[in-house]
Amino acid sequence: MPTINYLAIIVAGLIPSVVGAIYYGPIFGNAWRSALGKTEEELTPNNMPLAYGGSMLLSIFLALNLNFVIGLVHKDINDAGELFINSNFSFGHGALHGSMLALGTIVPVVVSLGIFHKLGWKVNAMNAFFWIICFAIMGGILDVWQ
């Protein structure tokens, strides 16, 4: 049974906050707000500690689950019929698992919600790409830091 590296989980869980501050700030902040038709003031949370603290806790939970999935896909059986963990333990390998998980699970949810919330294709694309980036980095960290 693989052990859980809690420090890696916490570091990976901080990735959406760090990437989000850059991605929805200086890189795509203006374009994202413009596509939403909102001002920065309109998008500022009413309760910032709750919003940012809650999203960090949820991101740590995502990292824990991503670590679990990466652990599952690394299980293999040798010629003697014994279960063992098989991985390259590389950033690229984990990033591949993370991005594939994002493409297969997170992106469909984000885009589906965006469609029903009547968000434009630009907002949906920016949000989807954000989560692919986050999951790739998180997966890379979790795989390398076993």
Rounded Cα–Cα distance for residues 132 and 111 (Å): 12
Mean pLDDT throughout 7-34? 97
Give the number of other Cβ atoms within 10 Å of residue 107's Cβ. 20
CA 25 to chain centroid: 17
Residue 30 has pLDDT above 60, yes or no: yes
The pLDDT assigned to 85 comes to 67
| pTM: predicted TM-score of the whole model, two decimal places | 0.89
Overall average pLDDT of the 75-95 stretch? 77
**Number of C-alpha atoms within 13 angstroms, CB side, residue 71?**
15
Which tokens belong to 143?
A: 């795989």
Mean pLDDT, residues 76-100 taken together = 81
